[in-house]
Structure 1
């Protein structure tokens, strides 16, 4: 008996379902993330005429290019923590570079949700998620991982990380370059040293190679016959990469390229047409919710961003928020708010210069060439600023000042904007109970038993009081002196820490007795902060150095690091601490080697100070 056409179609459909039980999952799009490292918007499609990026330029003509996309931190690990969790690291206690403090139990790395829905998840190969790993988020995670290993017809979420443009690509100068160093347009904050011109040209060479690798991955997708079923994201993991970009709270550190292509069958999942430019504010907080929205998985309530594509799109946010904590071996703390015209930065440790010595950053020849000119007094005011202490607040009109060199915070004409953005920052840090106001030496101890997110929502975290005193401490207002001295007697060690830190910021001569009493505080972070204040004010240098040297014996690596950061500024006065610093310099790393790096720097600077 012969089957008619309709019967054959029905039988084939039944057979297809039997062979591929996840047919419903197959209707969902594949998602491909191509992630470059350490580059801001230095691409042809973003208007950079010196860049050689033909593959990305063509891709942008067929995609949605986002002009206002931002990483949450100007460095990789904290930013990747945001990407993988959909949460803001200062709410999790994961803001400090490579600290691996645990997340609360309910937080899943978002690829887990895709795996549970039948997706094949693959990561090639960088993780660096700045918290306890969740390896079961991936079917594969290695430098050989590929979506090609999935089951027939199985949808995939695949990440490819292109590290050719990473900061390390500038550690060794190349003898021959494609981009001419003499034709590089330097930003106004960089002097035209041969090293800076060379490093800039070498960086553009690396971006050209990154573009080639991007094109290869895109062609591979087409060759596999998957282009029409795959939504492709291209973005960078933070800005970069020469000094004053990566790690710093400017456009050069936080503004990232983002280009998303949705093939015709999924074009309805975007509010804009392919080939258009979106001015929507987007941050890394929004990426996890957006992927889940695109594949029709409910976005968990705990995620703090909002989907900008898919069925669960959220209204555009008014602001994009950013943060900085400790970067490698150097301690600092800033928060930032960006709208479509202005960037506001709040510096909570303004006494620390922007350009603190950082061993990894200084491997690029350009950094020392810049520093040498500053020490020789050969820079103008804009070029010198990087080597000097910070103001408490910074405000930049990004449209008029894309390089963020003209601080408008003290200009009466911009008072309204300053107050609006200052208030937005205050409301934001309060809304998620920012735990970055707790010194890391204390965070380290808390995290041994309790995720910081949970701690912040307990009665133990006095956020309002701590944030208020931190605001006073960092404001550079001498009228706050007595309040800071009073804070040294508070029951909360974080309040006491900020009281001492505020006296350091002000270089206040008063408060000597309270600070000397704080040298015996039960909390190491407070003792060290009090020692710093006594040293910089000259009130009790011997007592300060004795306390700092004793702190190097602590079994808390971040107490040691805090002390080393201060001792590095004391020159030959650090002599009583040198024996302990030598012991640290040869020890094995407990977690990461930041206290070891800082000890080696101290030893080198001490020898050079004699």
Structure 2
């Protein structure tokens, strides 16, 4: 068998394998789905017979992870094969430039003679996306399919199903859900409100069940549509020559999963199906389940490698198919950053059994203010139950400040309810993952430790990807040393952070201020003079963050005045930072007028509008309570 595989790749490299003797590749992607909601992953309540059959006949991966927790960041890594924290593409709905030599990986398949089609989602989160798409795909539209290929030309075709997207499962009105999901299902396929188990971090009430049933029915509709696509593949007499990939773009689109840097945000269902003709290309033999650790960084290199192409140097992922298949990796590094109006920075490490996450902004809760979540009825029910003390400790915890570190056993604690970070039994697991994260981030020079205010400025003259590589520009070692103090509480850390408020590097000063956000008022009392001086720092992200500290901890009127001024700043990144801080203040009254007037601004930035809407709606609820 190995000789056959080697011969195939030798002939392929010599262009002696004719087009008709090369496998087609079909990618079936779905949105916002964790494996916990798929039948073949153990959920007996799920209605996913098509996906389950694909898994039974193919290879089901138990340790597949998205590199991000929201679609645009995830798809940025999928299409380029490069991590978002190297390119600066981790912030949702941003369009920062990447180097011209970074191509969409289908570009390399076209060079191998493949017809490439994408139906239809792109959302790659980069500048010049239109040209990038044109270079990568022969056809990219709602009608794109393998039909446009030449005679006997092999194809790489992507079909994206959005029926399980967060819009359907929570953010749309219930009437929209009924029209576009419930009414599209045959009666026998509909899953009732009492036909499933609720995750324990949700209050098990009739109102919550009504909303959560949307998840199951949306996935059921998705499964039905996948079935129709596979039927078309069969009818076109292509299935016997097509390798099928199935996966979701990141975790489930519900509060605490999507957008949140834990296993529920990263872990995805992932299946590969080989027709009999191409089963020799499977390195898993007769196995039906693989625990191999893979991430979205691997997908582009894997397809290029499988089809006999040369993987470009900037792709650092591990090809898990093809002749030069690489050895398994023990750990993988994942990330999550700003999502719409919700600021954040989390870096995570997994080995498949555990997920370790470092929250560099732990003062922001797991369920943070993101307008697309806040408009959802399920989130409104949760916040209402929280205000009326109807939630238990686990259910209310997700609205509180996060620990600086979490460690979950995602193999035995699938809902991630028990943080093992302070359990001495898991000290070595924690330390190994922490060390891996530190070394990988330092090696990569994570550009997203820059405030977005800076990334916008950098992007006007060069790419963040290339900027980070120049030590004269970006002193990441020093920046990361100070950022690593964020969330650590106590006199020792306060002193270090106050000292670094005077550092010559503005990004170091920024991270010193971020770290002080988590310190207790009593410890900060002795350093009010230093904070008052830093309030007038000439670097706006420092001034804004220190203003937030002084207002929240000491109710300083001049701090509120400065924050109000920055809320109205023409630079949307500074405005968003200011409003985002204000969203979590106990007393927001001084900012109501400013936020209300901002909403009257013509052509208001999308992120600013979302933050303002969250502010006013949540303030209204507070007053009602």
After TM superposition, the score normalised by the length of structure 1 is 0.92
1:530 to 523, 541, 546: 546
Look up the SS of the partner of 2:28 in the other structure: strand
Q: Deviations over 1:88-114 (max 9, x none)?
A: 101111111111111122211111111
Specify whether residues 398 and 547 from structure 1 end up closer, same or farther in structure 2 by C-alpha distance, changes over 3 A only: same
- Report what 2:531 is aligned to: 515
- Report what 1:77 is aligned to: 72
How big is the shift at 1:609? 5.9
Given the alignment of the two structures, is residue 287 of structure 1 paired with residue 282 of structure 2, yes or no? no
Cα separation, 2, equivalents of 1:609 and 1:185:
31
- Report what 2:173 is aligned to: 172
- Report what 2:436 is aligned to: 424
How big is the shift at 1:172? 2.7
1:33 to 4, 19, 27: 27
Look up the SS of the partner of 1:183 in the other structure: coil
Q: How many residues align?
A: 587
- Report what 1:149 is aligned to: 148
Given the alignment of the two structures, is residue 138 of structure 1 paired with residue 137 of structure 2, yes or no? yes
Segments of structure 2 that go 5 or more residues without pairing to the other structure are: 1-14
- Report what 1:559 is aligned to: 574
Cα separation, 2, equivalents of 1:580 and 1:597:
11
Specify whether residues 460 and 96 from structure 1 end up closer, same or farther in structure 2 by C-alpha distance, changes over 3 A only: same
Cα separation, 2, equivalents of 1:580 and 1:399:
44
The answer to whether the 8 A contact 2:29-2:159 is kept is: yes
The answer to whether the 8 A contact 1:345-1:393 is kept is: yes
- Report what 1:56 is aligned to: 51
Specify whether residues 585 and 288 from structure 1 end up closer, same or farther in structure 2 by C-alpha distance, changes over 3 A only: farther
Cα separation, 1, equivalents of 2:534 and 2:352:
45
How big is the shift at 1:499? 1.1
Cα separation, 2, equivalents of 1:36 and 1:193:
28
How big is the shift at 1:264? 2.4
Cα separation, 1, equivalents of 2:455 and 2:557:
29
Segments of structure 1 that go 5 or more residues without pairing to the other structure are: 1-20
The answer to whether the 8 A contact 1:82-1:88 is kept is: yes
Matches within 5 A, 1:458-473: 458=470, 459-473=472-486
Cα separation, 1, equivalents of 2:602 and 2:474:
34
Cα separation, 2, equivalents of 1:496 and 1:374:
36
Matches within 5 A, 1:85-124: 85-124=80-119
CA RMSD across the alignment: 1.9
Given the alignment of the two structures, is residue 341 of structure 1 paired with residue 333 of structure 2, yes or no? no
1:505 to 518, 522, 541: 518
The answer to whether the 8 A contact 1:38-1:166 is kept is: yes
508-517 vs 405-414, which deviates more? 508-517
1:549 to 540, 544, 564: 564
Cα separation, 2, equivalents of 1:572 and 1:57:
51
How big is the shift at 1:482? 1.1
231-240 vs 316-325, which deviates more? 316-325
How big is the shift at 1:311? 1.6
The answer to whether the 8 A contact 1:249-1:324 is kept is: yes
301-310 vs 561-570, which deviates more? 561-570
The answer to whether the 8 A contact 1:561-1:595 is kept is: yes
- Report what 1:355 is aligned to: 367
Cα separation, 1, equivalents of 2:558 and 2:507:
22
The answer to whether the 8 A contact 1:69-1:258 is kept is: yes
The answer to whether the 8 A contact 2:483-2:511 is kept is: yes
Specify whether residues 283 and 608 from structure 1 end up closer, same or farther in structure 2 by C-alpha distance, changes over 3 A only: closer
Cα separation, 2, equivalents of 1:580 and 1:406:
38
Matches within 5 A, 1:169-568: 169-170=168-169, 171-173=172-174, 178-273=190-285, 276-458=288-470, 459-507=472-520, 508-538=524-554, 541-568=556-583
220-229 vs 469-478, which deviates more? 469-478
Specify whether residues 566 and 258 from structure 1 end up closer, same or farther in structure 2 by C-alpha distance, changes over 3 A only: same
Which is greater in Rg?
Answer: 1
Q: Deviations over 1:478-516 (max 9, x none)?
A: 321111011111111111111112111113223322222
After TM superposition, the score normalised by the length of structure 2 is 0.90
Look up the SS of the partner of 1:280 in the other structure: coil
- Report what 1:11 is aligned to: none
The answer to whether the 8 A contact 2:568-2:598 is kept is: no
423-432 vs 473-482, which deviates more? 473-482
Specify whether residues 274 and 167 from structure 1 end up closer, same or farther in structure 2 by C-alpha distance, changes over 3 A only: farther
The answer to whether the 8 A contact 1:350-1:390 is kept is: yes
